[in-house]
Amino acid sequence: PPLISRGWLDVLEQEANAALPPHIREYVATTAGSAARAAQHLAEWDAVSFAPRTLLGERSLALETSVLGRRVASPVLIAPMAQQVGAHPAGERATATAAASLGTVVGVSTNTAVPFGEIRATGADWWFQVYPLAERATTARLVERAAVAGASAIILTVDTTALLVSAPGIEPTEWPEGPERERLVNLTPDELVALGGRPTVAATLDDIAWLSEVSGGLPVVVKGVLRGDDAARAVDAGAAAVIVSTHGGRRSGASITSLSALPSVVAAVGDRAEVYIDSGVRSGGHVLAALALGARAVFVGRPVMWGLATAGAAGVERVLRGLDAELALALSQSGATSLATLATELDVSLG
C-alpha cells in the first residue's frame, strides 16, 4: 500500500483490532469517558485552522530537531505504553528498534516486560517512564537500573496513580524481586479494587529532584499536566520538560483536551523548559498544529500500538514514516519557512 493515503491510520487501526486478542484490544482502546467524548477529543485536532503563509522566501521541509538537547530526526516521539508484548511478542524491543532506525525517542513504561538491556541493545534513545511505587526504594532501584542501561531521561507520570495491572502472563520484568513485586504481580481483581485501583502513590513536586538525583542527574520530564500553573510548578521544581497529556483520554472522562491546554502551558513555561504534547495525535497536520502552538515535539501512543500489533518493528516504522511524510506535506502546505519558525509564522485557532 502507499505510505500515506486518506484514512491510512484508520485502516491500520482496523487491522490491528482484527489481529489483537480481545483483552489487549480493549486495553489499548479504553478511555475514561464515553465513546462520544473520546470522539470529540479526537475531532478537536481536526478543527484547528490557520491562514497559510505565502511569499516568505527560502523554505526548508527538514523535520530534524532536538529534544532535551539531543538530536532527533523528527518531532514525532513514541509514548511510553505498557502491555506491548500483548500486542506483539517482541514488544518494546520492536518499538525501540523502530525508534532507533528512524532516529527518534521511545518512552519505555515502568511496566515493560522487555528487559532494559534488550532495549539498550537496539541503540534507541530511550526515556524511562516512572510511576512512583508505594515502596520508594523499589522505584529508586528501577530508576538506577534504567540509568545504568542507558536511559537518557526520566518521564515522571503525574496524572495517574492507578497502575493497570498486567494481563495474564505479562510481568514487569525489571521490577526487583521482593514483596512489592510479589504483591503487585499477584494482585487479584478483588485486591485491586480493595486498593482503590491504586497500588502506586501520587507523585509530588519533590519527586522531580529526587528522580534526578537517583538517576545520576538525568533530565526529568513531567507527563500529564493540563494547567499552566501546574506546569510552572513542575519547572520551578526542576523539570526539564513537561508533557501536556490526558493520558490518551484514559484518566478522566471530564477532562479538557490536551490541545486546548497547550497554549496556557506554553505561556506559563516560556523558554524555561520544553513543552511536548500527546493524546489524539493522528496525522502530520496534528503535529504541525502542536508545533505552531509552541510544542517542541509530540508523543504518539495508540497508532504505535496498532503498527506493533500488525507488523512488529516494521509496523511501528511504517506509522512513524507515515506521520513524518504527512508532517513534511503539511509544513509545505502551510507556507511557513521551517519547522523551527512555525510558532512565530502561523496563528493557529482551535475549533
List the binding residues for FMN. Answer: 80-82, 109, 129, 157, 223, 278-282, 301-302
What is the distance between the terminal CA atoms of the chain, rounded to a whole angstrom? 32
Whether 247 is a known active-site residue: answer yes
Least Cα distance to 44 among 258, 248, 255 occurs for 258
Least distance in angstroms from the C-beta of 302 to ligand FNR: 4
- Taking each continuous run of H as one helix and of E as one strand, the counts in the chain are 15, 10
- Which residue's CB is nearer to ligand FNR, number 107 or number 238? 107
Restricted to residues 138-177, the positions that interact with ligand FNR (CB under 6 A) are: 157
> All 3 cell numbers of residue 155?
518521564
Least distance in angstroms from the C-beta of 349 to ligand FNR: 22
- Which residue's CB is nearer to ligand FNR, number 170 or number 235? 170
Binding mask 231-270 for ligand FNR (x = CB under 6 A): --------------x-xx----------------------
Q: How far apart are CA 343 and CA 3, in angstroms?
A: 28
> All 3 cell numbers of residue 69?
538537547
Least distance in angstroms from the C-beta of 271 to ligand FNR: 24
Rg (CA), the chain: 19
Q: How far apart are CA 69 and CA 72, in angstroms?
A: 9
Q: Which DSSP letter does residue 156 get? A: E
Selecting among 23, 41, 88, 247, the annotated active-site residue is 247
The residues near 89 (Cβ < 8 Å, ≥ 6 apart) are none
Q: How far apart are CA 91 and CA 86, in angstroms?
A: 7
- Which residue's CB is nearer to ligand FNR, number 86 or number 238? 86
Restricted to residues 97-116, the positions that interact with ligand FNR (CB under 6 A) are: 109-111
Annotated binding site: 27, 80-82, 109, 129, 131, 157, 223, 245, 247, 250, 278-282, 301-302
Q: Which of 16, 98, 235, 281 binds ligand FNR (CB under 6 A)?
A: 281
Least distance in angstroms from the C-beta of 1 to ligand FNR: 22
- Which residue's CB is nearer to ligand FNR, number 27 or number 210? 27
Q: Which of 124, 266, 288, 300 binds ligand FNR (CB under 6 A)?
A: 300
Name the residue whose CB lies closest to ligand FNR. Answer: 301
The residues near 295 (Cβ < 8 Å, ≥ 6 apart) are 75, 244, 262, 266, 275, 276, 277
Q: Containing H/E element for 71?
A: strand 70-72
- Mutual orientation of helices 22-29 and 8-19 as an angle, nearest 10°? 140
- Which residue's CB is nearer to ligand FNR, number 245 or number 255? 245
Q: Does the protein bind ligand FNR through residue 88 (CB under 6 A)?
A: no
- Scanning 15-23, 50-58, 80-88, 89-97 for contacts with ligand FNR by CB under 6 A, the matching segment is 80-88
* Cell numbers 481536526: residue: 46
Q: Does the protein bind ligand FNR through residue 81 (CB under 6 A)?
A: yes
Q: In a 3-state reduction of DSSP, which class is residue 76?
A: strand
Q: How far apart are CA 249 and CA 114, in angstroms?
A: 26
Least Cα distance to 62 among 297, 346, 324, 334 occurs for 324
Q: Does the protein bind ligand FNR through residue 20 (CB under 6 A)?
A: no
Q: Which of 223, 286, 318, 321 binds ligand FNR (CB under 6 A)?
A: 223
- φ, ψ of residue 196 to 5 degrees: the values are 70, 25
Q: Does the protein bind ligand FNR through residue 280 (CB under 6 A)?
A: yes
Q: How far apart are CA 316 and CA 167, in angstroms?
A: 22
Instruction: Give me the residues that bind ligand FNR (CB under 6 A), please.
Output: 27-28, 79-83, 109-111, 129, 157, 223, 245, 247-248, 278-281, 300-302, 305
| Residues designated as active site | 247
